[in-house]
Amino acid sequence: MVFSQKEIKSPRWTLIEINVICVISIVLIFGSLAECNLDYLAINCRKHSAVLTDFGGVGDGKTSNTKAFNTAITKLSQYANDGGAQLIVPPGKWLTGSFNLTSHFTLFLQKGAVILGSQDESQWPQLPPLPSYGRGRDAPGPRFSSLIFGTHLTDVIITGNNGTIDGQGSYWWDKFHNKQLKITRPYMIEILYSDQIQISNLTLINSPSWFVHPTYSSNIIIKGLTILAPVDSPNTDGIDPDSSTNVRIEDNYIVSGDDCIAIKSGWDQYGIKFGKPSKQIIIRRLTCISPDSAMIALGSEMSGGIENVRVEDVTAINTESAVRIKSAVGRGGYVKDIFVKGVKLNTILRYVFWLTGSYGDHPDNGFDPKALPKITGIIFRDVIAKNVTVAGQLEGISNDPFTGICISNVTIELSELKKKKKLPWNCTDVSGVTSNVVPKPCDLLSEKKIECPFPTDKLAIEDVQFKTCNIKSSVF
């Protein structure tokens, strides 16, 4: 069933990509067969290779492939200590429920491959709530396992030649809207307690809820994703690194019904107790469209702390706000050392700068009203914004001000409609400095001639280089 890279032959080939090098050979008995080579970039290449169809996969969009995926990955897990394995998903529509990944493993979706999330709940096992949340996000108690799930893994890759994962989320969104969810919706991709994760070169559409959720994990690269959900779909966050360290998120295009990216670290008393921060995170070259939410949110679940986040070279269009911090009394934790530079904004429906200390939204009544979040060291510079409703809404917490805010070199054009009516800035319980900001900021942020800092060192994850890996197959 499992072949080494050289031996793979499958009797079917459909489409030859321009970037795939194929050698068409005449095979005497069967006619012509094409052997194709596709290079791709990954943190690790694999010695063994197999195709989903080797395990009974049927790509007709109707047959369930849950068993085929689970059988394939269980079989391929035996190569974890022998150079690892890659599972190729060929062109076709591969309906499946939730399945689990393994270590030293690559899931590769070819162009034209579509993994379709099942709408049959029996295909979705249940998992206990995350310890840092204490309950499911949609409902108390357990939650559905994610479409693609992994836990306690080392070196796992989900990539492709822009193949697609379609969560068929409308089933779940309807249940959410009709208040019919008894347990929390599945995410599209969730990987827990893992190290060395790559998710790249894929199109992800219509997740039931959050799309990509790396949690309690480290050394993560998320690159070259196109993530698309209707702008009115509920909680379809794009990428949510949660209590995770050393994360590089780059070259992504996200259209979402919720935050394009949200960095999180647990919820109130559960997150405080679990105590695992999200830190050493770089986000660059992001394009976001999210009329109801933020381009990048920090929180609202931030009880384990969020620190050392760098955001560079990002664009939002027709989006509610840019980089937003959301917290509340009872969250505890902290958000500190957040650096943002090089932001282009066009049509910001609410605020370019938005800090919220009164987000509310508690898991239960057991939160500690004395657990105040510490928000400090929030740095923004080099921002150009057009067609903005309000420049800034900076709202700290009384007796717990948000401090160390620095905003420099910012030009915000307010939309004609709102120019006369509203104050461009509204600040309470915050302190910091500004320089060269138009329109003139609120008095709580004093004016100084400075350039806000941005770190000059690199995060360790920025030094990770890709290797050129290869897929040889007659199925392209």
Ligand X SMILES: *[C@@H]1O[C@H](CO)[C@@H](O)[C@H](O)[C@H]1NC(C)=O
- Judged by the rule CB under 6 A, the positions of this chain that interact with ligand X are 40, 70, 100, 125, 149, 151, 161-162, 201, 203, 224, 226, 251, 347, 349, 382, 384, 387, 389, 395, 409, 415, 423, 426, 428
**Both structure tokens of 62:** 């109707």
For residue 3, what is the enclosing H or E element? strand 3-4
Rounded CA-CA distance 182/168 in Å is 19
Tell me whether residue 259 is exposed, middle or buried, using C-beta atoms within 10 angstroms of its C-beta: 0 to 12, 13 to 18, 19 or more: buried
Between 83 and 125, whose beta carbon lies closer to ligand X? 125
Mapped onto helix, strand or coil, the DSSP state of residue 175 is helix
Q: How far is the CB of 110 from ligand X (least distance, A)?
A: 9
CA distances from 366 to 184, 241, 251, 359, 426 (A): 20, 25, 40, 17, 32
Tokens of 455: 């770190």
DSSP tag of 31: E
- Beta strand 48-51 with 3-4 is antiparallel
- Closest by CA position to 226, among listed 259, 253, 205, 257: 253
CA distances from 359 to 278, 336, 344 (A): 19, 18, 26
What are the DSSP calls for 89-144, one per residue?
A: E-SEEEEE--EE--SSEEEEE-TTEEEEE---GGGS-EEPPPTTTSS-SSSSS-EE
Rounded to a whole number of angstroms, the minimum distance from the CB of residue 464 to ligand X is 15
To the nearest whole angstrom, how small is the minimum distance from the Cβ of residue 470 to ligand X?
10
| Least distance to ligand X, CB of residue 267, Å | 21
Positions marked active-site: 258
Q: Which is nearer to ligand X, 403 or 426 (CB)?
A: 426
Query: Which residues make beta-bridge pairs with 249?
Result: 222, 283
Q: Evaluate whether 286 touches 261 at the Cβ level (below 8 Å).
A: yes
Cα 99 to Cα 105: distance, rounded to the nearest angstrom: 14
Q: What's the min distance (Å) between Cβ of 415 and ligand X?
A: 5
| CB of 117 or CB of 277, closer to ligand X | 117
| Of residues 192 and 272, the one with the C-beta less far from ligand X | 192
**Which C-beta is closer to ligand X: that of 235 or that of 389?**
389
Task: Count CA atoms within 13 Å of residue 133 on its CB side.
Answer: 22
- Give the nearest distance from C-beta 475 to ligand X in angstroms: 15
CB of 351 to ligand X, least distance (A): 10
